[in-house]
Amino acid sequence: MQIHFWGTRGSIPVAANGLTIRDKIKQALLLAQGRHFEGEEQIDRFIDESIEFPTQYGYGGDSSCIQIIGGDEYMLCDMGSGLRRFGQHIMQKHGPQDPKVYHFFISHVHWDHIMGFPFFPSAYIPGNIIHIYGGHSIEKLEEAFHRQQSNPCFPVYWDQLGANINFTQLKENQWHKINGFRIKPKRQVHHGASFGYRIEKDGKALVYSTDAEHKQENEKDTVGIVDFYHNADVVIFDAMYSLADMITIKEDWGHSSNIVGVDLCLRAQVKHYCMFHHEPAYTDETLFRILQETRRYAEIVREGHPLKISTAYDDMVIEV
């Protein structure tokens, strides 16, 4: 399977402002001083080889939305603002006259995880079928979506949507067969609870585990998480805060640190630890620095087990 990250930011979408872009241009020009380029190809090579990731690309600012590619129908986790761009991609690819089936797995209904839905064109087009799954009750899921598209929050109301939309509560800690995958939800510690999903197909395992605060204070809870992550090819993990922020101010805010993620993934023998749900106040440089620090920490504590570590960015595609 493949994963396309349409949105990776936590809590609220962010955009690079003019000063940030100007600063990136300035840094790139400084690095290019005295060089001569024969054409676009040479410029691209220089960007790839000589300019660091935060300056040449950056992490993006859409909120949580990932697509899991590998089934016959479309399948995604969460509907943050990244869903808007996924929806545009679908319109470009199929146009409005070609109905599709979509499966959405919702971690929870906090705003940053459902705010993309009113901007998802397929929801307005009759013929499309949209299955929304969650660990919460159907009433809870429906209420959040209905409220989001009602007066005075949004001008287009829920009953104006044209697609066939249905909600399903998935039993936690049980396997469910959907779209050729097997999927198991697990309850996580977060305000109002959130659900992580272990998704498997063809011997490969992905865990989508966002909006969860792992404190490692209760061994039983920790063992439960380690079992859930065990041997996964990739764990997409809520590493919203740096450890320093976490222990000084943001304890009990419902999110985890980069360091807890390393500890859990090493213990669970995960292959690839992917940090996700980035703090909106962190700049590209800050996220890049946290990635280097996280890799250094893992090198010190890992005791032989190799662990790939990455920071998710908008439009990153990984093979699982």
Residue ranges binding Zn ion (CB under 5 A): 10, 110, 112, 211
* Contact predicate 315/283, CB 8 Å: no
Of 24 and 277, CB closest to Zn ion: 277
Placement of tokens 């999927």 in the chain: 183
Residue 204: how many other CB atoms lie within 10 Å: 16
Of 37 and 111, CB closest to Zn ion: 111
The least CB distance from residue 210 to Zn ion, in Å, is 6
Quick one: tokens of 167? 């909600």
The least CB distance from residue 189 to Zn ion, in Å, is 11
Bridge partners, 185 (sequence order): 197
The least CB distance from residue 159 to Zn ion, in Å, is 27
The least CB distance from residue 35 to Zn ion, in Å, is 42
Sheet holding 308-311, edge to edge: 176-178, 181-188, 194-201, 204-209, 234-238, 272-276, 308-311
Of 10 and 196, CB closest to Zn ion: 10
The least CB distance from residue 80 to Zn ion, in Å, is 8
The least CB distance from residue 190 to Zn ion, in Å, is 6
* Contact predicate 10/318, CB 8 Å: no
Of 181 and 313, CB closest to Zn ion: 313
Residues in the chain: 320
The least CB distance from residue 249 to Zn ion, in Å, is 18
Of 103 and 110, CB closest to Zn ion: 110
Of 6 and 181, CB closest to Zn ion: 6
Residues 183 and 196: their CA atoms lie apart, in Å, by: 10
The least CB distance from residue 191 to Zn ion, in Å, is 7
Q: Where are the alpha helices (DSSP H) in 51-185?
A: 53-56, 82-94, 111-114, 138-148
Residue 109 sits at the vertex; the CA angle it makes with 108 and 112, to the nearest 5 degrees, is 105
Of 210 and 222, CB closest to Zn ion: 210
Of 211 and 279, CB closest to Zn ion: 211
Contacts 24+ apart (CB under 8 A), 279-286: 279/10, 279/11, 279/240, 279/241, 279/245, 280/9, 280/10, 280/11, 280/12, 280/13, 280/14, 280/61, 283/20, 283/54, 284/53, 284/54, 284/55, 284/58, 284/59, 285/54
DSSP designation for 160: G
In the complex, residue closest to Zn ion by CB: 110
